[in-house]
Amino acid sequence: MSKIFRKSYDIKMPKSQHEFEEFGPGKKGLVMCSECNAVYFKKYWHHGFKNIAISEKKDLPIKFILCPACAMIKNKQYEGRITVKNVSEKQAQGLEELIEGFCRRAFERDPMDRLIKIKTGKNWEITVTENELANKLTNKIKNIFNKVRIKRKFNKEPGDVAEITIEPY
């Protein structure tokens, strides 16, 4: 066998032209949200200081800004909107508990996944900060209420908004 296969080579491929970083390159030190106390450290948002294991002995500079989720809520923006049509009184209580519980567990995993607002009535409108959260929540609602029809619409770049409509048969 040839000798070239015995060594491992580090080949660095150029980045794709379509690849980009959503929030830009990683920031130095600690960045803390002034609203929700989420902390940005090593290219990821965490819940407060207790979840961060700082291995470096040196002092890190701390900067206070609004995290992307708090900024979206303040600017009345969203990435996911779910419209549930024809919600009966019987389904309303269970649906609200399902939505709030699911979004609370998602927030515990990732501080950027948040429920923004639930507008109730005959047709419900649910807004969330992440389009992936909207998709997962829609799948959960579909599993609970079996006979539903789902229409998904994803907006093109630069927006990442997912608009989902759920209606019973």
**pTM to 2 decimals?**
0.78
Q: For 76-168, CATH number? A: 3.30.70
Distance in angstroms (rounded) separating the CA atoms of residues 150 and 135:
11
Residue 57 has a pLDDT of 47
Residue 77 tokens, joined: 């923006």
pLDDT digits (tens, 9 = 90+) for 99-114: 999 999 999 999 999 9
Most confident of 8-17, 73-82, 87-96: 73-82
pLDDT digits (tens, 9 = 90+) for 43-61: 888 887 765 555 454 567 7
Q: Hunting for tokens 């900060």 — which residue is that?
A: 129
pLDDT greater at residue 104 or residue 88: 104
Residue 124 pLDDT > 90, yes or no? Answer: yes
Distance in angstroms (rounded) separating the CA atoms of residues 153 and 135:
11
Break the chain into its structural domains and give their ranges. Answer: 25-65, 76-168
Residue 141 has a pLDDT of 93
